[in-house]
Every structure is written in structure tokens, then in C-alpha cells.
Structure 1
């Protein structure tokens, strides 16, 4: 554990004017508050805040951020209060500590809808002060470095959360080194065999070829020296996870994978960057399509560099990044460059961009999203995608995610332009709206009066802004139809419990569900955003739960140990009345599969984990979701009638997703909540008898078992 003098020395290395007395006071206070607390590893708990502070000194952060790291768990885990921190260390530090506490309390690995809402809160919180995010990222980095002390299931949860949220967030904020380390630490937990395999292949490759990095570095140094360019060159092999991801994307084995080595050339000036590029391209063949100039077109987080890939020694592809020293500082520090100190002064780096602007713009735009899933989708698109730069006819540069289409371009200019889009020209040539745009292209959008967004655009658009605007337009267009359908679904649901869906009852339900008004609730019910059961429960919770003598869901399955938890497998979605078998998972209880489920082949050689189960006799509640694959005629009123038929069978629609839209038919997946196999048979029979239903199947998807299988592999 680093003592207080060593920590202060780390800060003094880059900030001689540091307030060492305040840091020492925070160190003593944190140690006192955490006295007696221990980590999973058995170490004193305060060793963790100190390690987080040390990580932040590597980023040359200001005193307030270092002190926040020392105190970041005090409000949450000790008797210290917000007022105590204000009195002892001031309002600025108290606000930062409180911000980190709030981020820590967000359950980012919960269900998808809740995850989306928490993601929204995360971005709202970070838009106020990005230093909160820096402390949280450093906190997660140290926790991942020491993750082996946690329970296996907790390791998997934290690693998945890190891979999905924190690593991309670090990368999007320009902290590429942190992203790579977080990904590698999570990869070590989630797929240790794949990581070890890549490392073994690297070792074998080094034995066969020798120190390739040293040889290529010397070659580059020789060429640049001959061109009289002063440079520093750093070479490295790419991280195991980066290689693994590339293998998956390109569907190639390790032996066929190229450019697994990367080199950085650091020059004195911007002009030298282009001179170095010329020298490299003159000596080695440039790989077509692998050149990016982020100096003339910087990324939104301030990143500047020239990227190129060349065929190096013995034909090996190597990636080369060329930048100046100042550009390199921003590339390494990312968002932290905005607060970095040197010799007691804030660094004036001309390329450092205040990342608060990016997050502020993101939150402002995405706060307009009316749907949780839309928000999460948009955020992930913003974080994971690289960018392309296209030009409007006036010469304005429009930044878009890689893979964007003319529809995304149109909405990026203005929502009105996007809605009225009927076609596009790329470099003067008319192209389909699904064309993927490339760097440097000039885009002209063709519009027409009376045009409205089409449902098929959802699948064509890539940006969150475009998708949200299209969905909003479609929702408004279909609003009257959804309200009518919602009222009918509510009528059937209320009659099912012997009540009437009066306007007063529906207004009461809307109020109970925190909806702005009754029409809004009916529209969401009609569009399957909420279920009829939720509407009924908002008015008559007792009747909704207690209709008939139903079996307690906790004892629906017979054959388990007392109090042993269980869950239905999502791949086969077994329902009461069907033959079932259980698979035991360490620390997770049993997962119940249908006896004919294809996923069971994964456990054929692990018969000790199999449990003979059967359903409890009696009336089960209608809460067993089954996915139906429906193909229906594209005609007015068909979808409404299908939903009514399902409701008339006493079944609720919990989700509805369109999979394919054609001029003459729709194909959709409908999640229906059912009691048992007989209930399923009734619903299938009624729907199959309808003349507008072209095909109906019970959808089963073995890939839905992937998450549980990954957890199982991690545990074993």
C-alpha cells in the first residue's frame, strides 16, 4: 500500500505547487473512515482508494481529482456524510465525491430497460463534471486488476459490464490505453481459453521469426534518418482481445491474420508527419483502403494522427500511426489532457478538446428519445462506431459513424431534410438510400413535398438521431391506430377479471403507470410497449394477481432441492405440460430446458449436472413467455385483429418485433405470456385458422442460451 509521502511525491513530479497538506489530510481521513474494512482479497480496504489515486497521478490530474479518489467510497461505505466532506474539503471535492457515489450506485448490468435508464443517468451525471468519470474509470480499472479475489459469478458480471460500457466509454473519451487494458482484463475472465491461445501463438511466432518489432523499428529508423527527420519510434504487438475481435470480424484464423503489430512515429512538427508518411510509403507498399488522416480531420475528442498500413519486412502487414509530441500527449491522455498539470501549471495543449462538449451534446440529443431501448441503442452507436467525414454541397463537413447511409446524412443536416428525403447523389451519381458512405464523399440529398419516413428506414439508418426521428414519425403516424387497438386490448383484459374498462378506470391506470394521459397509455398498449396486465394491475392489483387458485411460481417445478432457485431457458422457453429437464449451474440454481432442446447437446458429457424435473400439477399463472413467428398479410386491420385474437384467449402480448416488412406481408416475432402447453395450443389454433395468417411457428433460438453458456464456461 502506497504511503502518503509516496503519493504526494507522485503528484509533485508533475505539479510542484500541489496542496500537499490537503492531500495528506484526505489520506488520513479516508484511512480513518475505512478503518477495519477489508477487501475480498483480505487487504485493508483503503488500499483501493490509494491505488485509484495513484492511477490518476499517471494521468497528471489536479489535486481535487486525486483527493476525490482517496474519498470516493467514504460517503457510500462509511459514516462520513456529504456535509462532512463539504466542511473538511470544500464544495468542489464534495460534489465530485457525491458524483462518483451516484455512478457507483447505478446497476449497469441489470435488465436491458433498466440498463438503458441507468445509462441515461450516467451521461446526465458525467455532463456536469467529467472528472467524475475519470475517477470512476480508474476505480473500475483497479477493480479489474484485482478481480480474481471476487466470486466467479461476480467476476463474469463485472467483466461483461466492463466490456459493454466502461471500456468503450474510455475509448470514446480518447483514453485508448485504458480501453485496451480494461478489454484485456475482461477478456481474461470471459474467455480465458481464447486469450491463452492467442498468447501461445504469439510465443510460437516469436520463436519462428525472432524479434520482429525490433527489426522493423530499426528499418523505419534508418529510412527516416536518411530523410533527415527527427523521430521517436515505438513498436508493440496488439493486445490479445484486439486480435481476437479482428479474428471474429474477419472470420480468419491467427495464421491468416495480418497487421498484428503496431508502430507509432512521434515527430517534431506537423510538416514532419507528412514527410515521415512519404518516407514510409516510399520504402514499403501501402495497403489500399487503410489510410486515414486524422490530422486534417480530427476526431471529436481531439485525437489527431495519420494512420496507414504497409507491407513491411517479409511481407508482414504493420499498422503505422504518425503524430507530433503534442498530438501524442492528447492521444495517450484523452479526456485527462484537459486537466493535466506540468510544472505546477495546467498544460496548454492546442489539441486538447474539452470532452464535456461531446457528452453535453450527446445527452441533449439523446434526451429527446422517448424509448429506453432507443436511448441505449443510440448511446452504443455513438460509443462503438468510428467516424467517416462527408461533405455537403456547400462544403460543410458532416461527421457520421462508419457504415452510415444517405438517410443518416440527411438527418444529420436537419430532421426536416431527413423526413422529406426521397433520394441521394454521392459525388454527383444517384445511389440507393442504403449505400454505405465513405470518407471524403460529397453528398446531395433529394427531397420532395409530402414525403414521410418509411418503416424500412429503421433498418437502413445507423445513427441514433436518425433512428429516433424515424421512430417518432412512425409512432405519430400510427398513433390513432395504436390507441384504438390499445382500447380493445384493455377492454378484453378488464373483462377477463369481471370489470369494465371505463374512461375513469383507464385514467386511473394511466396515473398509476406514471403516463401523461390516457391516450398516451392506450397508444403504448397498442404498440406493445406495455402489457394489458400492467394496465389492469395499476387499477386492480389484487384481482390481477389473485384471479383463480394459481400455483406459486416459486414451486412450479418439482424435483429441485428445497429453496433451490430455477429459471426457464430462453432458448426453448418450456411451458407447463411439456417434458423438461434441469441443468445445474454453480451459484445460479437450475436452468429448465424442454427435453428436446438443441442446447442440451452442450451438456451431454456432464450428466452429473442433469436433474429430472416435471411441472407441478394445477393451474399455472399466465407468465410463461413464448415467442411466436408470425407471417401475416399487409392489410388494414390485420395486426389489430391478430392482437385481439390473442387477447381473447386470455394471453397477453409482452413484446412485438417486426422482422421483415414487404409490400404484401409482414413477418414478426410476438412474445405471448401463457399458462401452459394447452394454452399455447389454443392460441396457435386460433391464429392458424385466421385467413390473413400465412404461417405461424413457435420460435426457438439456441443462440439465446449463449450468455448462460458463456457463464458456464467461465465457471468451469
Structure 2
């Protein structure tokens, strides 16, 4: 009995290996249709090494593991990629899952193949605090590998495609997580690189695994609707074919059915019912050349009336991924909308294969070259984002924004066209031109008219950016920019700016703490610095000063540790009592991001002020009698005596509360007074006590207490004003 079982097991193993050999032979036969025999032989050598390395390893489906890399290689072969890509596809898991080293791959197949395999390998040897962080770091490594060689992403997409095709053997929770990752990252990357055939399959498989119930319900609904649609589509196709023959235009005309995930997303995004989405008929016309495409457009516009505003010419202005086609929407029979795409055969191939068309068409045709060049431009911008991003999560967040590019096309003053995602602003445009332009932009001209930097751009506009040498990014820009490049560049600049300002403030605070005990930074022994930095495990003096400036460490405690003989310094401090050792720290208001003014009391020059250290924010300036500040009076680590520097910044915010009779025009009269005194209204709020009296709170910009007092005196003369006082927040 045991012998029979062993025999059966041996037979099963033998059958599996036979199947594997058949797949390998099948792959080689296909490769012989476009590769040289010596290149095919190298692919077969790679298969033999892969089969040896993965010997004994099984997939969850029960198949020998080698089945997976062969399936990945088959997908690559269908894209007609070069033999090194096929070899790398077969070996893409050997470095990670087997004893085969990178050095051996270099020896047997060359540096190119080894780098491709290394680029595709996963980060299983690193530890992360969360799955999200692991995914983000894995994504970051993949994107960096892609920037070195585009073929890495083709192998990665083929790998993910086969894994999605065999996802059914996974646990439900794991399959949903993989499906979510596919929909969030891999399908958008395929779309961004113009690989629509792979993108559609990834979306369908991801949709089915992540939302199985929704997928089944939608699938049934499509089946029920298909019968009537078939008749209508045939009628539309026949009518278009007849008109094309009359115009002597040779073209291939096919009806297209929207795939389920596309229908689902449109229902979600536009809050539509299934009938409203599925009532759109799609036709694709593949013509002989570009001239025939435009003539075919005229034919269909004569046959059915076009829907205004729905025509897009992606032949004249291709999409960012190289996609080219004419798009139009027509009023069909009985008012049924018909979506029509018109393109050449080459454009159709690029639309389906994207950057893979570069290897399929090696004759240097313009379309495939465009897809390749545009993919490289995007990947170059991805590399810039990576260099400036703080961590993997921030990098993933920035790049995911760029993976959904519904473009707008903007003209530079020189007439060049720039592509930006829909919703992009003038600041996004500035950073797209160059990071230095973005960092120093102060205004924008749209069609020669000044416009706010937050203005959302529309296709066809000419945009000019006005820069100033001393300008710098505003943190508020992060509220409206949409491109990953702009967001990352602003964050990077502000981080560096905050660090330098924190160091400067920390140095002043520490020097003041040392002055209080009769010493100074200049008097500190350099060896003492080395010892303190070692004790605190900090890399340099600037890191310690930045911590003090950001409120993460107490200046007084650091001063104590820097001084060798605290008692002696206290005695020296007593001897200097009466001098300026305990003088308050002077502030100008121009210290930047690590010094801020409290909104609870709005301090302005002329007010008695104090500072409260806040962890992570730095020094917050309050009026001396502010309740929030007084809470910290007995906390010497937080309470910092301050005074105004003789040279302060030009304007500060102050709040004024005005009780007025509830009459027409009172707000306009008060606003006029504020304007006449050269001030600006930053904010205004209303509180109606009853039908006769209202309370208006203005936040206005002022130079100092005298400027504020003059404003309040003038406002008292407005007849409707009953009472006025400075608001304390």
C-alpha cells in the first residue's frame, strides 16, 4: 500500500515537471518568432537555473514554484521584450527565495540581468513598524529601481498580474489586502505608463477580489442589459461603416463595452445609477493615418450631432503617457450618447501597450518614442520627489497624487505646452517649470492678467510666474497645491528653513540661560560640548540647538550641564546682579517659523510680552496678562521674559470687538475707517445679540499700539458704534 502511494506521488511530481517543461518549450517556441536562436538558448539556460533553484518549492495552488516565473516571462514575451528582460523575469525570485546570489547571476547572465533581478526583489529582510510603512518603503525601492531601468516595472507588473490571476488560493483577508494594493498602486502605474491592457485586467481582478459581492451584482446587471445593447450597437456600427465607405476612408470599426471597474468607479464618483452609466455606447475607429483620423471625425460629426464641450484632440496634444487619439461624444439614435475614439493602428498599439510599445516597434516610430520619452520624464520627476521626501510614507503620498493625472494643458509665455493634473494651481505650474521658480514665486499672470497663486488653471491658458529674489515658500501653499513635486519641494524647503531658524533661536535662548549665571556660549569649553553631545546621543551641536529652539529641550538644563561648576557660576551670577544678564530676550517678529504670535491675545509692539516654549512649535509670544501665558508663569522651563526689539516687522494682527446698532451700511463704514488708516482686514465675524444690537469682531493688521489706538478712536466716531474694545481672544 505504501509502495502504491509513493508511486502515485512520483507520478504526480513527474506530471507537474512535464507540464513545466512543456511551458518552457512553449515559451521558447514563442520567443523564436522574434528573437535570435542564441538569445532563446540563453532564456532556456535561465529556465534550467530557475528550475534548479526553486526545486522542491510549491505555490499555495499546489503547482511547482517555477510555474510562476514562467508565467511572468510569458507575459513579457507577449509584450515582445528583449531577451534580457525575459531572463530576468524567469529569475526574478531566485535572489530572494533561493540560495542563488547576485554574483552568480552576474557571472552567468551579465550585470544587466542581475540589476533587473535586484530591482524587482522585495524588501523582506527589512523590519517596519507597520504594514503601511513596509508597503511605502517597498514602493519607494521599486520606483528608484524603475528610474534606473524601465524594464523593472514591466517585470513587476507582469509578476503582479500572475499573482492576481492566482489570488483565489489565498486567505480572504490577505487577498483583499493584495487587491487593495493593486488598485491603489499597480493599476495606476500601468495607466500612467499607458499600458491599458494590463491596467484593465489588474482593475478587474482587483475589483473582483476586494469587492466580490459588488462585482457579482454588477456582472449580473451587465449580462441582463447586454441583449438590447447588442442590437443598438450593431445599428450604430452599420451606419458609421456605410458613411466611411461613402467617404472612401478605410478603417476598422468596433464596439467597446465598458469594463466593470470603470462602470463602478463612474457610479461612485458621479453618484449615478447603473442605467445612467451603462447607457453610454462606445465605438473605436482605427484608421490608416492621421489625415484619415481627422476625416473620420468629420464623417461621424455629420452622421450624429456632437455633444458640445466633449471633443478632445489627444493627437495634436498627447497625454503625459504618450496616449494619442481623438475623443468625441455624439447624440446617437433616440438621444443615446455615443463615445467615439479615433486613432491609427500605431496609436492603438501604444494605447494598449504604452512604454512596452518601444520594444514592440523598434523601427523608431514617433508614437512609441513619445511614450518612452514621456515615461522617462515622469520617472525623472519621481526621482526628484524621492530626493526631497522626508520618509517613505511621504514619498508614497506624493507619488500617488501623480498616478491619477487627468491633465490640463498650459502654455508658457514662450508658447511651450506643459501638462499638469486637473486642479493644478499657479504654484504647481511654477514648480513644474523649476524648483527655484516655485520657491521664489510671488505672483502669477494668467493670460497677462495678475491672478492669485492659488488660482486653479484651465487648459489653453498662458501662465507667467513673477518671482522675487528674497521670496520663499509659504506654508499655506500646502493647502492648495496638487502635484507631488510641488508638495514635496515646499515641505523640503520649509523643513530646512525651520531647522535653521530653530538653531538660531536655540542659540539665543542658550546664550541667555548662560548669561543668567554669568557665562556665555563663547566661554564653554569645547571638550564639554563633546561630552554633553555624547551623553545626549546627539550627532552635533546644531541638533542640540535646534531641539532647544523647537522647545523640545530646556535651555536652562542644557546650560547647567554645559557648566562644570554650577555653584561657582551661581556665585558669579550674584556678583553680576544689576547688570543686563537677566535682560529679557528681544524679538523682532521676523524670526520665522519657530517664533509665532498667540491668537488668544494678539500681542503687538508696545504690549508687555512674555514667551512660552511649546514642544515642536518653538517660542509662542503672548501678552503679559494673557490667561494662557499666566498658566506657565511658575514653569521656568517654559516661561521666557521677552521685550520688543527697536526694529520690528512692519505689521501684526490685532483683534477689535465692536458693538453696533443693527443698521444698514455700518460694516461698510467701519471697513472704510480701517482702510483709511492703511490697515487690512484679515478676518471678520458677527454675533447678533438681538434684533437691535450686533457684535462685530475684526482681526486687523496694525504696526503697533499707537496705530491700533488711532483706529479705535476713529471707529468710535461712527454714529452706529455703541461700544468698542480690544479683544483678548
TM over 0.5: yes
Return the TM-score normalized by structure 2. 0.66
Aligned pairs (5 A) from 1:583-594: none
Superimposed CA distance per residue, residues 429-457 of structure 1 (whole angstroms, 9 cap, x where no aligned partner)? 44333322122211133445654332221
Q: Deviations over 1:485-523 (max 9, x none)?
A: 889999xxxxxxxxxxx96577348866xx6x4535764
Match of 1:507 among 508, 533, 544: 533
Q: How is 1:221-232 mapped onto 2 (pairs within 5 angstroms)?
A: 221-232=241-252
Provide the residue aligned with 2:144 in structure 1.
124
CA contact (8 A) 1:417 1:447 kept: yes
2:179 equivalent to 1:159:
yes
Mapping for residues 178-257 of structure 1, pairs under 5 Å: 178-257=198-277
TM superposition shift of 1:634? 6.9
- 1:358 is matched with 377
CA 1:42/1:278 → structure 2, altered by over 3 Å: closer, same or farther? same
Equivalent residues of 2:382, 2:399 under 8 A apart? no
Q: Indicate which of 382, 396, 414 corresponds to 2:402.
A: 382
Corresponding position of 2:365: 349
For residues 534-565 of structure 1, the C-alpha deviation after alignment (integer angstroms, 9 at most, x for no partner) is xxxxxxxxxxxxxxxxxxxxxxxxxxxxxxxx
Q: Map 1:297-316 to 2 at 5 A.
A: 297-316=317-336
How far has the Cα of 1:105 moved from its partner?
Answer: 7.0
Return 148-157 or 259-268, whichever deviates more. Answer: 259-268
Contact 2:147 2:380 in 1 (8 A): no
CA RMSD of aligned residues (A): 4.0
CA distance in 2, matches of 1:242, 1:489: 59
Query: Contact conserved, 1:286 with 1:310, CA < 8 A, in 2?
Result: yes
- The answer to whether structure 1 residue 294 and structure 2 residue 314 are counterparts is yes
2:542 paired with 1:519: yes
Structure 1 residues 174 and 406: alpha-carbon distance in aligned structure 2, compared to 1, 3 A threshold: same
Of stretches 503-512 and 191-200 in structure 1, the one that deviates more from structure 2 is 503-512
Deviation at 1:325, TM superposition (A): 1.1
CA distance in 1, matches of 2:204, 2:508: 52
1:282 corresponds to which residue? 302
Unaligned stretches of 5+ residues in structure 2: 1-18, 511-527, 554-597, 605-609, 619-628, 636-651, 656-681, 683-726
Distance 1:99 1:693 in 2: 60
Cα 1:520–1:178 change in 2 (3 A) is farther
- Aligned pairs for 1:550-629 (under 5 A) are none
Whether the 8 Å CA contact 1:74–1:80 is kept in 2: the answer is: yes
Partner of 1:257, secondary structure, is helix
**Residues 1:156 and 1:478: Cα distance change in structure 2 (over 3 Å):** same
Cα distance, 1:478–1:280 mapped onto 2, change above 3 Å: same
The separation in 2 between residues aligned to 1:271 and 1:47, in whole angstroms, is 46
- Conservation of the 8 A alpha-carbon contact between 1:107 and 1:115: no
User: Does the 8 A contact of 1:510 with 1:518 survive in 2?
Assistant: no
Cα distance change, pair 398–451 in 1 and its aligned pair in 2 (3 A) = same
Aligned to 2:349: 329
Structure number with larger C-alpha Rg: 2
- The answer to whether structure 1 residue 141 and structure 2 residue 164 are counterparts is no
Count residues with an aligned counterpart: 546
Larger relative CO (CA 8 A, sep 6+): 1 or 2?
1
Counterpart of 2:479? 459
| Structure 2 counterpart of 1:4 | 24
Q: Compared with structure 1, are the counterparts of its residues 86 and 364 closer, same or farther at alpha carbon in structure 2 (3 Å cutoff)?
A: closer
What do residues 596-632 of structure 1 show as CA deviations (whole Å, max 9, x unaligned)? xxxxxxxxxxxxxxxxxxxxxxxxxxxxxxxxxx996
- Does the 8 A contact of 1:303 with 1:330 survive in 2? yes
How far, CA to CA, are the matches of 2:158 and 2:612 in structure 1?
Answer: 50
Relative to structure 1, the CA distance from residue 411 to residue 359 in structure 2 (aligned partners, 3 Å threshold; closer, same or farther) is: closer
Instruction: Tell whether the 8 Å contact from 1:382 to 1:401 is kept in structure 2 after alignment.
Output: yes
- Cα distance per residue 1:199-246 (max 9 Å; x no partner): 222122224544444333333222322222111123222221112112
What's the CA shift for 1:403?
A: 1.2
1:270 matched to 2:296? The reply is no
